[in-house]
Amino acid sequence: MNSQILRYRPEDLERYVECFLNKLGVPLPDAQTSARILVAADLRGISSHGVIRLHTYYGSRIQKGLIDPLTPLIPVYETAATATLDAGNGLGMVAASRAMERCIQMTRQANVAIVSVRNSNHFGIAGYYAMMALKENQIGISLTNAQPLVAPTYGRTAMLGTNPIAVAIPCAGRLPFVLDMATSIVPIGKITVHEKAGQPVPLGWGMDASGKMTENPSEILKGGALSPLGGSDILRGYKGYDLAVVVDILSGILSGSGFGVTTDPKGKPARIGHFFMAINIGAFRPLEDFKRDMAALMTELQNAPKAEGQTRIYLAGEKEFEQEAENRARGVPLLDEVVKGLDQAGREVGVPFELTAL
């Protein structure tokens, strides 16, 4: 565990990802979009969804023909406030950002709109798309299903993805409220990190193959499953399970894509579905009044009395904005083993990772 952290300019990382994907046949504008979204994850401190996935989630799948480098995004059904778009097994980031952009445009006229995407792939951080609505002072919502990793309450097999919920809401004179949460307690990457470090995980994060909660990360990874938010039945883990099902239905079933165990099967197109929604605040009350009340609520929560031993109450998205400010100033941190992996994949593709660390 003597990993060294190297830091890079975000623009440099973006350019690298761009070249890498472009080399694999992704058109330049689409490669740029994907690069921006992957590096945004690293900037925001969600490195599990950042450039570390460039090869495993995207590059290698394009090479194997599991992801199409072109993302057509063809409308299947359309009304003034709704659309179902077919991503044609293209890149999730490209499909998602274009779908959300469309949703935002529709919301300008319709005041509330939903765009559903079928036949897509892993789209990076859900929060990115929800946040796109902020520029128009809309509320943005973004959901996606994903590869099964989470067991239903009283089950012991992974049936549902970590199906995230992201909501972005503007606020007057301060940072927006940005929730971006998996409906499992933790993502699978947290379990892997503990296994690598030879450390037990807190009881509740996951179960072994018999469905029993375990502190042993290897047992969770080998035939076990992640726990839904809430954990055990006594702490109402079925609520996290039910939320994961809602996200699966709105993302996978509403769009006509994969759902449940049929999502992201090994060696086949993932057939992931996304759900994007935007709300025009001004249709409900004057925007400035809404944003003023938002600021009041955020301040009220922040100033609430702290539990003994605690000094700060966080607002959704705050940690990520602070991380981003730091990473923009100091550079995006990557572990040297991640850099090695990028370079190795890059050499195979013909785009060696030759960036200079800061």
The two structure tokens encoding residue 48: 């599990």
Please say which residue, 70 or 253, places its beta carbon nearer to a copy of itself: 253
| Contact region with a copy of itself (CB under 8 A), list: 31-39, 48-56, 214-222, 304-312 | 304-312
Strand partners, 77: 84
**Closest residue by Cα to residue 156 from 201, 106, 111, 206:** 206
Under 8 Å between Cβ of 257 and 120 = yes
Shortest gap between Cβ of 204 and a copy of itself (angstroms)? 5
Whole-number CA gyration radius for the chain: 20
Instruction: Give, as ranges, the residues between 247 and 276 that touch a copy of itself (CB under 8 A).
Output: 248-250, 253-256, 259-261
Please say which residue, 15 or 236, places its beta carbon nearer to a copy of itself: 236
**Closest residue by Cα to residue 148 from 135, 156, 157:** 157
Please say which residue, 240 or 333, places its beta carbon nearer to a copy of itself: 240
199 binds a copy of itself (CB under 8 A): no
Shortest gap between Cβ of 198 and a copy of itself (angstroms)? 19
Shortest gap between Cβ of 356 and a copy of itself (angstroms)? 37
Instruction: Give, as ranges, the residues between 99 and 128 that touch a copy of itself (CB under 8 A).
Output: 110-114, 116
Instruction: Give, as ranges, the residues between 178 and 197 that touch a copy of itself (CB under 8 A).
Output: 179, 181, 185-186
Instruction: Give, as ranges, the residues between 63 and 102 that touch a copy of itself (CB under 8 A).
Output: 76-77, 79-82, 84
Under 8 Å between Cβ of 215 and 240 = no
Under 8 Å between Cβ of 164 and 147 = no
Q: Which of 64, 305, 329, 356 binds a copy of itself (CB under 8 A)?
A: 305
How many CB atoms are located within 10 Å of the residue 66 CB? 17
Instruction: Give, as ranges, the residues between 122 and 181 that touch a copy of itself (CB under 8 A).
Output: 139, 151-157, 159, 165, 167, 169, 177, 179, 181
Shortest gap between Cβ of 284 and a copy of itself (angstroms)? 5
Please say which residue, 207 or 332, places its beta carbon nearer to a copy of itself: 207
| 3-class secondary-structure state, position 223 | coil
Shortest gap between Cβ of 279 and a copy of itself (angstroms)? 7
Which whole-number Å values give the CA distances from 300 to 76, 234, 289, 294, 296, in the listed order? Answer: 45, 31, 16, 10, 6
Pairwise CA distance, residues 13 & 8, whole Å = 7
What is the bridge-based pairing of β-strands 138-144 and 272-280?
A: antiparallel
